[in-house]
Amino acid sequence: MNFPKQKIYKALKILGIIVVVLCIGLYYFRDSLLKQAIAKVEHKMAVQYNSNFSVKEASFDGLSTIKLTDIVLAPINADTLCKIKNVETSISLSSLLIGDVQVGTLKIDNGYIQLVKKGKKRNFDAFLKREKDDTNSNEKRKYASFAYNIISKILNLVPTDMDLKNFKFKIDDNGKHTSIDVNKLVLANKQLETNLHVQAKDFDQRWNIKGFADPRNKKADIRFFNLDTGAIRVPYLDQRYNLKASFDSIRLNVGNINKSGGELHIDGYTSIANLTINHPKIASKNVVIKNARFDYRFLLGDSFISIDSSSTMQLNKIKVRPYISYDTEKDTVYTLKVDIPKMKAQDFIVSLPDGLFTHFQGMQATGNFDYKLDFKFNKNKPNTLVFDSKLNKEDLRITKYGEADLNKLNGEFVYRAIIQNVLQRPILVGNANPNYTPLDQISPYLRKSVLTTEDPSFFSHRGFINEAFKQSILKNIRTKKFSRGASTISMQLIKNVFLTREKTLSRKLEEILLVYILENNRIVSKERMLEVYFNIIEWGPNVYGIGEASHFYFQKSPSALNVDECLYLATIIPKPRKFMYQFNDQGNLKDYAIKNQKFLKNLMFRRGLLIPEDTIGLLPVYISGNARSLIRIKAPDSTAIKADSLAVDDEFDL
């Protein structure tokens, strides 16, 4: 259909007149509109957030530039959250007409934002409340669209040109103070530069942040440096969480944020140099990562959030390809895959972070290996949990041991337990110790009982049991805490002989790696490992090894123990220092302890480890050795307090 040119020109003319009238109207009524907008904000702050918001003066300079003075946001009956002396900003009117707020320029002079916590009350609590969602609560949120809208709105509020002077960010967490003074922050022509003055309890530093920032095109490349000598220290975390962290430099790069075909892609990388971390739950000393880099690709769809498998993590010479996914399309499914491509074993050893693997320092190896981990958990079908860990070796051989020389298990050595950081008395593991008991002189009933309770597949596994890990993970997920481990006898042996009992990430990681080396390089036979285990573990207060334990409880040699005595000894291994609470004031086992032993006995019957003839003519367990002096036995006329209230009636857990 063709329209006459005159009509087209006339329509364009009318449209132009309308635009001009709108602009004139906006120009003449802009101050009134601005005051109305501020009044709406004041009302919203009062009604929804129980806070006072005020602006002393507000006016337009030109058509799009707004000037504000003395801006204050203060929650009622709490410390002021924000106070700014002067603000000058411009807004894109063309974007505003289509409902999209884009901040053009921003100048701030003299102001602060402070987060204050006094007792349990915080001055920002009201702003953490989730606003009511008008959408159907039963409708699934589309992650890609939701995330893209949030990112777009936030980046649109980031000005293309910015100039901040004398602005402070302060934290007061019940007397734990941290402040960041922005002496200068300039964003001009997509180039960012800032000087910060950071102060905390025990340090004072000046930082520099510079780089490229283009909020409209959703790209950035920013670096952090220290203007003073030494590393950049992270404030507040040490006071709040006892976590000390520092680094030489950080680089943050966002190369692409793009939504297409219902998927949101976020690509970029981040790198850090000489990251140092210190926390008592991580390691007993500083952990240092010299170089680390993460090339990431985040993918979000209608029903999933993931770190794509094309992402790579580099830790010195170690390269890892991770895949992490949270999917809600049918069920709620969590997936984790880790792939370490083939690499030299020596490169792996020298790349381990300093302070995290102290027992590996000086270790040397030849050959190559690759590793894969596959984990999947369905929240609605927990019993379908997948846990598959595979390490493939290629001529892998340890040529030199570090601090932990695993070969010492084959000869005589002195063992000293460490309990609550206190070194216990020395125990000689060898024939020169009169209490040392070779494996063939230990009652076969005890060997079977302990293997049943501690590690039934000891002679067939290589240090780890995938099924045990799966059951441990399931129980920890159900209880929402680390309530169950998956420790084998090999792991207990490594922990006792070479490591401490400290509950740190460092100790656990070292334990896993040392167990793998011990079990997969045929350094020590299974029989020798079990013999050492029986001769070093704690069986009671200051009682080490089965030779001491059999006399301490029953005044017998380990070879003379009967079935019920062996069952008893096997059940006290988890809590040997609390054995006395299993007995009543008559010196007899309590009902729950008898029940535990009966459960173990029946289990061994079912597995063919015992036959009925093994239990004929046995009497109840009677403690005749020095252990009896630690049991609170009530004399006929005594009013001694019973120990029952101190007992923990735990069911036996295999």
SS3 letters across 53-85: EEEEEEEEECCCEEEEEEEEEEECCCCCCEEEE
Q: What is the dihedral of CA 439, 442, 444, 446, to 10 degrees?
A: -110
**Residue that wins the pLDDT comparison between 570 and 464:** 570
Range 189-198, long-range pairs (CB < 8 A, 24+ positions): 190/160, 190/214, 192/222, 194/164, 195/227, 198/233, 198/235
Asked if residue 644 has pLDDT above 50, the reply is: no
Q: Of 91-100, 183-192, 416-425, 462-471, which has the strongest mean pLDDT?
A: 183-192
User: Considering only 21-35, 143-157, 197-211, 482-496, which range has the smallest mean pLDDT?
Assistant: 21-35
User: 346 by DSSP, 3-state: which?
Assistant: helix
49-84: pLDDT as tens digits: 899 999 998 887 776 788 889 999 999 999 999 999
For residue 400, give every residue at least 6 positions away whose Cβ sits within 8 Å of its Cβ, in sequence order, or none.
362, 363, 364
DSSP 125: G
Percent of the chain with pLDDT over 70: 85
Q: How far apart are CA 386 and CA 550, in angstroms?
A: 42
Q: Mean pLDDT over residues 529-539, rounded?
A: 95
Q: How many CB atoms lie within 10 A of CB 603?
A: 17
168-196: pLDDT as tens digits: 999 999 999 999 999 889 999 999 999 99
Q: Mean pLDDT over residues 143-165, rounded?
A: 87
Length of the chain (residues): 654
Alpha-helical (H) ranges within 337-420 are 345-351
Range 234-242, long-range pairs (CB < 8 A, 24+ positions): 235/178, 235/180, 235/198, 235/199, 235/200, 235/203, 236/171, 236/173, 236/176, 236/178, 236/200, 238/200, 238/201, 239/173, 239/176, 239/178, 239/200, 239/201, 240/173, 240/176, 241/279, 242/279, 242/280
Query: Taken in order 439, 445, 446, 452, is the CA torsion positive or negative?
Result: positive
CA 649 to each of CA 330, 405, 478, 575: distance values in angstroms, whole numbers, following the listed order:
41, 40, 21, 12
Q: How far apart are CA 42 and CA 89, in angstroms?
A: 19
User: 500 by DSSP, 3-state: which?
Assistant: coil
Pairing type for strands 103-118 and 161-173 reads parallel
Q: How many CB atoms lie within 10 A of CB 5?
A: 8
Chain position carrying tokens 């401490």: 500
459-513: pLDDT as tens digits: 888 777 666 666 667 766 666 655 445 578 998 899 888 887 778 888 888 888 8
17-51: pLDDT as tens digits: 555 554 554 554 566 777 887 888 899 899 988 99
Q: How far apart are CA 567 and CA 443, in angstroms?
A: 11
Q: How far apart are CA 426 and CA 432, in angstroms?
A: 13
Q: How far apart are CA 264 and CA 432, in angstroms?
A: 69
For the chain, domains (ranges, CATH) are 303-403 (no CATH), 404-646 (1.10.3810.10)
Q: Provide the pLDDT for residue 470.
A: 67
The model's pTM is 0.78
Chain position carrying tokens 């490591």: 499
Residue 583 near residue 609, CB atoms below 8 Å: no
Q: Provide the pLDDT for residue 60.
A: 78
Q: Provide the pLDDT for residue 647.
A: 38
Q: Mean pLDDT over residues 531-556, rounded?
A: 94
